[in-house]
Amino acid sequence: MTIIFAHIRNFEYLRVPNTIKFINIPDLTELLDNKKNYDFIINVGNNDNGKEFCAHSIILETRSTYFEDALSNGKARKVNNNFILDIPDISVNFYIYGGTINIDHKEAADILNLLIVSFKYSDFTKLQNYWTTTICEQSEILFNATNFTSVGKEGLLSICKNKNWCMEENELWDHIIRWGKAQNTELLKEINNWTTNDFNILEKTIVDFIPNVRFYDISSDNFYHKIMPYCVILPKDLYQDLSRYHLLSNWQPKFNNLRPRENNITIDSKLINDEQAELISS
């Protein structure tokens, strides 16, 4: 299933618990519910699970580039003074009337779909930031979703770059590998049977993620079990330095340029807290 994410023009969102509210939008949900003076019918899904939405062309055309295009290119046909648009096998989240999405009771997959689609449009930078912050605070929403591997590269990369991450670095690496494999369905599940070309394919897929992984924050055990099997996709100098770092007690790492993520910093002190320690060390 896909969500059509209506492109809302020139509106800001207000973040409140479990809700995304777009401000400066009049409350028009009543029009959607009582079907007054509608002239646009949207048939969603097929005969078994289909649903009909009665809406207003002037509102759709003004607030959504998707429906504006449908009206201008003839995709929405005119029948008895009404526009009719058939969208089979599509799930539509119709929030553009009232400007609110309540995510309190939504499935993780639905929330993830909003994340996926929001990163397809450059205009949604604030919404992208909202989702990135949410995912960094509640990573299970993203990584436990069945369609996690459908997330676009830019969306996942923005999350990996976020310093406020509530997950162990080795777990993040696992998810990057899983995502990279899913983008290349020809790769075998067991890497013991991989060829050099297979590793090259994975490397090209996740190369932009590697500089954002804090490999030096990964324990020696996890380095052995999770990083070493994929050593050939890491820059040679980096892997050699990581190996020395884990083998030699006094080795000073050469490529440890990334500070620990803020949510993973712990300070054992009665004088200062974690936030103060981070401020001092910055």
- What values do phi and psi take at 9, rounded to 5? -90, 135
Q: Is-contact 90 44, C-beta < 8 A? A: yes
What pTM, to 2 d.p., does this model score? 0.61
State the Cα–Cα distance between residues 170 and 187, nearest whole angstrom.
22
* Mean pLDDT, range 165-171, rounded to an integer: 86
What are the sequence ranges of the domains in the chain? 3-100, 106-264
Q: Is-contact 229 275, C-beta < 8 A? A: no
In the chain, % of residues over pLDDT 70: 66
Q: What are 16-74's pLDDT values in tens digits?
A: 344 444 434 445 556 666 677 889 988 876 666 677 888 888 888 887 777 888 888 88
Report whether CATH 3.30.710 matches the domain 3-100. yes
* Mean pLDDT, range 107-117, rounded to an integer: 63
Residue 236's pLDDT is 96
Residue 99's pLDDT is 54
For residue 92, pLDDT over 60 is answered with: no
Residue 223's pLDDT is 97
Query: Helix 196-206 vs helix 169-182: angle between axes, to the nearest 10 degrees?
Result: 110
State the Cα–Cα distance between residues 200 and 202, nearest whole angstrom.
5
Which pLDDT band, with edges at 50, 70 and 90, does 6 fall under?
very low
Which pLDDT band, with edges at 50, 70 and 90, does 109 fall under?
low
Residue 67's pLDDT is 83
Q: List Cβ neighbours of 255 (8 Å cut-off, separation of 6 or more).
A: 216, 237, 238, 241
Looking at the DSSP bridge assignments, the partners of residue 22 are: 13
Residue 262's pLDDT is 72
Residue 43's pLDDT is 85
Q: How many CA atoms lie within 13 A of 47 on its CB side?
A: 0
State the Cα–Cα distance between residues 152 and 201, nearest whole angstrom.
17
Residue 221's pLDDT is 96
Residue 192's pLDDT is 93
For residue 93, pLDDT over 70 is answered with: no
Residue 227's pLDDT is 97
State the Cα–Cα distance between residues 104 and 248, nearest whole angstrom.
49
To the nearest whole number, what is the mean pLDDT of the chain? 76
